[in-house]
Amino acid sequence: MLLNPANRDPAARGRLIGALATLVILWPLFQAAEVKPGALFDSGNLKVIGNFLAAFLPPETGAEFLGYLAKATLETLAIATAGMALAFLIAVPMAYLATGAGREKPTLNPITRSLLTILRGIPELVWALVFVRVFGLGPAAGVLALGLTYGGMLAKVYAEILESVDAAPARALRHSGASRLLAILYGLIPQASKELASYTVYRWECAIRASVVMGFVGAGGLGQLMDQAMKMLNGGEAATILLTFMGLVFSADGLSGWLRRALDTPPANHASPFGWRSIGLLVTLFASIVASFQLLDIGFGELFSAEAAHSIGEFIAGFFPPDLSAEWLAKVAKGIWETLAISVVGTLLAAIAGLLLALPKWRAPFSFILNSLRSVPELVWATITALAVGLGPFAGALALALHTAGVLGRLYAEALDNAPPTPGKALRLAGAPGGFAFLYGTLPGAAPQLIAYTLYRWEMNIRMAAILGFVGAGGLGQLLYFELSLFHHAQASTVIMAMLLLSIAVDQASAWLRQRMR
Amino acid sequence: MSFRLNGVGLTHANGFAALKGITLLAEKGERIALIGPSGAGKTSLLSVLGTALEPTDGLAEVFEFDQNFWDTSAIKALRARIGTVHQSPPIPGRQRVVTAVLAGKLGQWPAWKSLASLVYPLDIPGARAALERVDLADKLFARCDELSGGQLQRVGIARVLYQQPELILADEPVSALDPALALATIRLLTADAEACGATLVASLHAVDLALGNFPRIVGVKAGRIAFDLPSERVTVPMLHELYASEGEQLPIQAHEPHFLSQAPANDAATRAKCC
């Protein structure tokens, strides 16, 4: 029957080629990431990680340490809040310039767009590392780094949200003579406000995790404490800090969930759009921003003084010209390949684990696992996986996989929940076993979203993979960390440019794949 | 016997009684149309027959053995013999037509075959034959989101044809189609059920479609059976009483050819292709 050409699946050849191509691409990437599951069970490694984990109990609860911890926690929250305030200030005008929304002719402002790409493309940790050299150790570097990267991300997403809503109201307003700003305010913001607000809150959640991480390069907060605890293999302290992370992330999660629900309630029936709750929220928001800057003891004046500008300028000048010698470029190319491998392997492992954790019907224990995985930042996971499998790219890929599995698992579970239920139900009514009703009925409906989430996450992971090297997990990060430590700025700038190019290339590849798989 | 309902009642968790004391018996190969105003309980009745809902009262037997909802493998085996045509085709848009049709046999196939068919459709001639009967053989390898609503509905029917069930349930199968296509689709369903000796129970909104194509008409009103008669004995006053809650007009599909008669034109051809 297969001999009859009419009865052959015309798509089979394409699928076979696609599968082979995937294997041919993935195989060397797995090689480069030095995937060796055996290392997980190596007796030496098991002993190290076992001893370390055993030391987790009991968690450190000394009064002195708890005092440090409280101070560091406040500092972390303050860095995140101040950083987000700065990011918001950057993002709003940039988004207005970059978005095609409300324009008569769709113009994508290429200059703002490319500026945003640069801001986003260089990971916040690299900015932090750079700013630490300018402003010295302390939270100012963290706040600036967060502000710049998150400003870039917020601006891009704001611009895209404004472009994605129905353009007709704004167009009508413009045709009746309104300016572009007013057309956006009256025609687009009401449609987009919920999504804008909920994305901003989500980013604040991410900023908390990011500010933890920046402590690792000396920008203060919980990360610095964690770095010290890990370097001294003090399990008890590490355990307490990890628990604090989880508490922070869980409560940020709860708060953002409450805010999102609050945004859904229709406004009360009076002239002012603000009720007591919104006014209370706004006051709290401003108070916490002011308090954050107070606590961190940085004024805007200090950040933007002529002196700071001068030292930044001098510092940046040191990065030019970048080192483009063949020998160094070869080293950087190897770093790029390794970083790419870490990101791909980490994302793939995470997608598999996330899907398995998203499937069970009885959610409670699994969402706890997912939230716990998610609440620990990649860099912190990397310090732990480095103990488990030794330094190197595999530790980085594992760390990425652990954190990303938490993120993707949650998104997958939501997507599967939102997938249309009728196809699967119909198949069960025709006698199909549950698993096959899922594979033939439910999964095809959710697949585009699952793929899109995975690819978006890969775009983020390539940035993360680039910095995991800071804790010895290989790739570009390791190169950058060495060169910056040795004040080899020309070499470092080549690495930063490589990171930027890599993240742009991955963005393009992921957009292409999303297009192909739709 | 194909199925026997004896005093079946269905009360939802919120206390609403969708079905009250339904007693209905169908022999193998019968073709029955359910008519009645919306909310009368037609869908609930079909759900009980299709084992989607467990009756809260009375006895429901399908194919000689009564439904035992605790025995999941028996329910699966029973369900594999029942095919359902849904009001809107329950097919994911990204699936290919061939896969959507083959999914009809998931209840009968061994696991390895179901798994392998996701990678390479294992019964292409079978899927093609089913699609030929709904005039869609050229769409075999198209993706379902490339089809029009009527085409997709016919893919849903092809899936049921491919499943070769002994009992076909159809819940308003043509309410989303235009009159000409609706008539053609109903004729396809009845002709196929007749050719394969399968029992067909279809709920229909349009009275003329029901009377013109089904030998037996069951009127349902407020969860009870109002009448259960051969189609030639259903009278206009009976219909007006059945639809009293929906006003003067009877819901009909097409106005010109009043109470269309059956078209046995391609019956022989269908019979030849079947089974």
Report CA-CA distances (Å) from B182 to B71, B148, B249.
Answer: 38, 14, 20
Closest residue of chain A to B127, computed from CA coordinates: A7
CA distance B239 to chain A (A): 32
Q: What is the pLDDT of residue A273?
A: 64
Mean pLDDT confidence for A325-349: 89
pLDDT tops 90 at residue A297: no
pLDDT at residue B102, as a whole number:
92
Q: If pLDDT is split at 50, 70 and 90, which confidence band does B225 have?
A: very high
Q: Which of A420, A427, A433 sits opposite B103 (nearest CB)?
A: A427
Q: What superfamily in CATH does domain A25-52+322-516 come from?
A: MetI-like (1.10.3720.10)
CB of A3 less than 8 A from some CB of B = no
A215 touches chain B (CB under 8 A): no
Is B95 at the interface with chain A, CB within 8 A?
Answer: yes
Phi, psi values for residue B54, rounded to 5°: -90, 125
Share of chain B above pLDDT 70, in %: 89
Q: Is A12 on the interface with B (CB under 8 A)?
A: yes
Query: Do the Cβ atoms of B92 and A11 come within 8 Å?
Result: no
Cβ contact, residue pair B106, A436, below 8 Å? yes
- Which chain A residue is nearest to residue B144, measuring alpha carbons? A444
Q: Which residues on chain B are in Cβ contact (under 8 Å) with A3?
A: none
Per-residue pLDDT at B257 exceeds 80? no
Same fold, A25-52+322-516 and A58-264+273-317: yes
Confidence of residue B258 (pLDDT cuts 50, 70, 90): very low
Chain segment B83-139, per-residue pLDDT in tens: 999 888 888 888 899 999 999 999 889 989 998 988 888 899 999 999 998 888 898
Separation in Å, CA of B235 to nearest CA in chain A: 35
Q: A35 versus A303: which is more confidently predicted? A: A35
- What's the whole-number average pLDDT of chain B? 84
Contacts 24+ apart (CB under 8 A), B134-141: B134/B158, B134/B161, B134/B188, B136/B97, B139/B97, B140/B97, B140/B98, B141/A9, B141/A10, B141/A11, B141/B96, B141/B97, B141/B98
- How many angstroms away from the CA of B76 is the closest CA of chain A? 4
Instruction: Give the pLDDT of residue A348.
Output: 94
DSSP for A142-174 reads HHHHHHHHHHHHHHHHHHHHHHHS--HHHHHHH
The answer for B 140-179 residues in CB contact with A (under 8 A) is 141, 163, 165
What interface predicted TM-score (ipTM) does this complex get?
0.81
Q: Is A8 on the interface with B (CB under 8 A)?
A: yes
pLDDT band at A299 (very low <50, low <70, confident <90, very high): low
> Which of A3, A7, A418 to mutate against chain B (most B CBs within 10 Å)?
A7
Decide if pLDDT at B274 tops 60: no
Mean pLDDT value of segment A97-119: 78
Give the pLDDT band (50/70/90) at residue B265.
very low
User: pLDDT band at A376, cuts 50/70/90?
Assistant: confident
Could you say which of A425, A431, A447 has the minimum Cβ distance to residue B76? A431
- Nearest CA distance, B222 vs chain A (angstrom): 26
For A67-96, the pLDDT digits (tens) are 888 888 888 888 888 899 999 999 999 988
Domain boundaries of chain A, sorted by first residue? 25-52+322-516, 58-264+273-317
Nearest-by-CA chain B residue for A421: B90
DSSP β-ladder status, B167-171 and B199-203: parallel
pLDDT for position B200: 94
Q: Are strands B17-26 and B31-35 parallel, antiparallel or unpaired?
A: unpaired
**Nearest by CB: A436 against B52, B90, B114:** B114
Provide the pLDDT for residue B260.
Answer: 42
Provide the pLDDT for residue B170: 93
Residues 9-68 of chain B with CB under 8 A from chain A are 50-52
Greater confidence (A468 vs A269) lies with A468
A12-21, A142-151, A345-354, A380-389: least confidently modelled range: A380-389
Nearest to A422 by CA among B141, B142, B171: B171
| Cβ contact, residue pair B107, A432, below 8 Å | yes
Mean pLDDT (chain A) is 83
As a whole number, mean pLDDT of residues B188-199 equals 88
Average pLDDT score over residue span A440-451:
87
Q: At B259, is the pLDDT very low, low, confident or very high (cuts 50, 70, 90)?
A: very low
Interface membership of A2 toward B (CB under 8 Å): no
Which carries the bigger pLDDT value, residue A308 or residue A391? A391
- Architecture of the CATH domain A58-264+273-317: Orthogonal Bundle (1.10)
pLDDT higher than 60, residue B269: no
pLDDT digits (tens, 9 = 90+) for A149-164: 899 989 988 888 888 7
Note the pLDDT of residue B270.
Answer: 46
Delineate the domains of chain B, giving CATH numbers in brackets.
1-81+169-275 (3.40.50.300), 89-164 (no CATH)
Among B106, B114, B152, most A C-beta atoms within 10 A, so best to mutate, is: B106
- Whole-number pLDDT of residue B264: 43
Whether the predicted pLDDT of B256 surpasses 60: no
Amino acid at B170: A
User: Each residue of A161-210: pLDDT tens digit?
Assistant: 888 778 888 888 888 888 888 888 888 888 888 788 878 888 888 888 88
B79·A426 Cβ contact <8 A: no
- Contact B134/B153 with Cβ under 8 angstroms? no
Contact A360, A226 (CB under 8 A): no
